[in-house]
Amino acid sequence: MRLSPTRFLCAAILLVLFFLVSFVTRLLFGQRGFDILSERPNPVQKQVQYGEECAPFRAGAMDDVTIVLKLGAGQVATRLPSYITRLTRCTQNVLLFSDRKAEYGGFDIVDALANLRPEYKYHNPDFDIYDQLQHAAVLEEQTTEGWRLDKYKFLPMIELADARRPHSNWFLFLELDTYVNWDNMQRFLTSFDPQTPHYFGSPIWPARKPVFAHGGSGFVLSRGAMNKLMARGRMFAENHRSPGTHLFGKDVRKECCGDEVLAKVLKESGISIRGYWPMFNGESASTVRFNWEQWCEAILTLHRMQADEFASLERWEANRQQPSKPLTFEELFTYIEPGLQERREDWSNLSEDIIYQGKKTAGKSADACRVACSRNHKCMQYEHFSETCQLSRSIRLGHRKEPGGGVQWTSGWMMNRIQSFKAKHSQCNGAHFVHANPH
């Protein structure tokens, strides 16, 4: 049968639509582009004995990296001791910034807010707690009121860090619950020129605002970025003479978060984030989602880690079978895998993708919830409490959840599916160094 012009045109349109849909589908739902993270970035760094504690620091490969810790005054007595002990086994090139001047273990804790212009503090309810902190004899763990000061620390902290470390090529900004795999971080940074303006981290995508790097996951600024940022600052004050005195023209009272404010100033300086999630990750080892997106990727950071989790992960790392290899999520899975069971009482595994509620649904019992999971071929685990059943397509360990108010939590994992998933996606062809998004 001969095609008429109309039929030929319709066929051509359908073919174009097919390829367009296929392209968009791969773009949105396909595997993200990646390179392989080099196990030894270049021949000069063969002296780095990867897998040994503090290897990049001992070899001098991190001499140009300054570690910047942001904390609250109430965390000095509670969270800082264990964190700084672990960190200083590797490096003394650490700067600490808080909302009250102090000293700990030979380190000066700089009050990032001390030099701010008076107009930022006067008639500003966010600073009501500031004077109390300066005169308090005993400080407790940081409160909600104390956290109101956190967003004001970012810009002064960065100015002060630049002034105190003018020759550093990289600045890694961390919080006291941020884990860093130092071997991978050194391998990662070696891939970039520090004189080029770089801003790396785990991206947050707020509506109608610049994408910014999540502070708790850790973020990186290069020397090139710091230079451009300081040049921008001179439009507002002589920050090269008195750093930490201004907020780059921002009314921070109206802003949500300090990491978001920083991203705005960076963008005005001509620097946009390069997002490297899941390598920079906002979850802890027990809450991270294990799925095809996060299986072969290299781990740079984790977040929300408690002191006991740091210690546990440190012991596990000391017993890795191939410690010189870049750590990936595939390998980290073996850390949480012993905690996965067919059924676990008084436990929340943080399932959240599909929710059923009510006695007439899968929420009527833990058994009914498990059946619902078994009938959904993408379901890897389930969680039941009260009259709620929640299913998840990812694998997560979660945490203990004691009964309360007559409610008990029950969690379970589809162990056969988990084994099938592992068989399908292992072994990884090297540690994936994902392409930046946004880039």
Q: Is the pLDDT of residue 25 over 60?
A: no
Phi, psi of 199 (to 5 degrees): -140, 105
* DSSP 3-state of 437: coil
Residues in contact with 284: Cβ distance below 8 Å, sequence separation at least 6, in sequence order: 179, 302, 303, 304, 305, 306, 309
Same-domain check for residues 254 and 152 = yes
User: Both tokens of residue 279?
Assistant: 């390598």
> Residue written as tokens 């300054």?
66
**Total domain count, the chain:** 2
Residue 320: how many CB atoms within 10 A of its CB?
Answer: 14
Q: Is the pLDDT of residue 145 over 70?
A: no
Q: Is residue 291 part of a domain?
A: no
Q: Is the pLDDT of residue 23 over 50?
A: no
Mean pLDDT for 116-145 is 81
Residue 67: how many CB atoms within 10 A of its CB?
Answer: 24
Q: Is the pLDDT of residue 7 over 90?
A: no
Range with the lowest mean pLDDT among 46-60, 228-242, 363-377? 228-242
Same-domain check for residues 258 and 369 = no
User: What letter would DSSP give residue 198?
Assistant: -
Rounded Cα distance between 352 and 189, Å, is 35
Same-domain check for residues 183 and 60 = yes
Rounded Cα distance between 347 and 410, Å, is 6
Q: What is the CATH number of the domain that holds 224?
A: 3.90.550
Same-domain check for residues 128 and 256 = yes
Q: Is the pLDDT of residue 19 over 90?
A: no
User: What letter would DSSP give residue 302?
Assistant: E
Q: What is the CATH number of the domain that holds 385?
A: 3.50.4.10
pLDDT at site 380:
98
pLDDT at site 144:
60
- Nearest of 28, 27, 57 to residue 45 by alpha carbon: 57
Enclosing H/E stretch for 433: strand 432-434
Same-domain check for residues 376 and 251 = no
pLDDT at site 260:
95
User: Both tokens of residue 218?
Assistant: 């850790």
Q: Is the pLDDT of residue 376 over 60?
A: yes
Tens of pLDDT, residues 284-312: 999 999 999 999 999 999 999 999 999 99
Same-domain check for residues 233 and 102 = yes
- Where is the domain boundary, 275, 294, 310? 275
Same-domain check for residues 77 and 154 = yes
- Where is the domain boundary, 250, 275, 300? 275
* DSSP 3-state of 282: coil
Helices (H) and strands (E) in the chain, counts: 14, 21
Rounded Cα distance between 384 and 398, Å, is 13
pLDDT at site 72:
92
C-beta of residue 248 within 8 angstroms of C-beta of residue 232: yes
Same-domain check for residues 259 and 345 = no
C-beta of residue 91 within 8 angstroms of C-beta of residue 58: no
Mean pLDDT for 196-219 is 95
pLDDT averaged over every residue in the chain: 90
Rounded Cα distance between 390 and 65, Å, is 43
Enclosing H/E stretch for 408: none
Rounded Cα distance between 28 and 361, Å, is 32
Mean pLDDT for 178-201 is 97
Same-domain check for residues 239 and 359 = no
Which range of residues forms the domain containing residue 387?
A: 341-430
Angle at CA of residue 232, ends 230 and 234, nearest 5°: 75
Tens of pLDDT, residues 399-431: 999 999 999 999 999 999 999 999 999 889 899
Higher per-residue confidence, 338 vs 138? 338
pLDDT at site 289:
97
- Where is the domain boundary, 228, 244, 275? 275
Segment 37-45 long-range contacts (CB within 8 Å, at least 24 positions apart): 37/184, 37/187, 37/188, 37/298, 37/326, 37/430, 37/431, 37/432, 37/433, 38/187, 38/190, 38/191, 39/187, 39/324, 39/325, 39/326, 41/186, 41/187, 41/190, 41/191, 42/190, 45/190
What band does 42 get if pLDDT is binned at 50, 70 and 90?
confident
Residue 32: how many CB atoms within 10 A of its CB?
Answer: 14
Mean pLDDT for 52-64 is 95
Q: Is residue 333 part of a domain?
A: no
Same-domain check for residues 362 and 263 = no
The share of the chain scoring above pLDDT 90, in percent, equals 76
The share of the chain scoring above pLDDT 70, in percent, equals 89
Range with the lowest mean pLDDT among 1-10, 43-52, 144-153? 1-10
Same-domain check for residues 259 and 402 = no
Same-domain check for residues 401 and 263 = no
* Model confidence, pTM: 0.90
Mean pLDDT for 161-184 is 97
Q: Is the pLDDT of residue 14 over 80?
A: no
Higher per-residue confidence, 223 vs 28? 223
Amino acid sitting at position 310: F
Tens of pLDDT, residues 246-264: 899 999 999 889 999 999 9
Listed in sequence order, the DSSP H helices in 126-222 are: 128-135, 144-147, 150-164, 182-189
Enclosing H/E stretch for 308: helix 307-318
Q: Is the pLDDT of residue 154 over 60?
A: yes
Mean pLDDT for 317-345 is 96
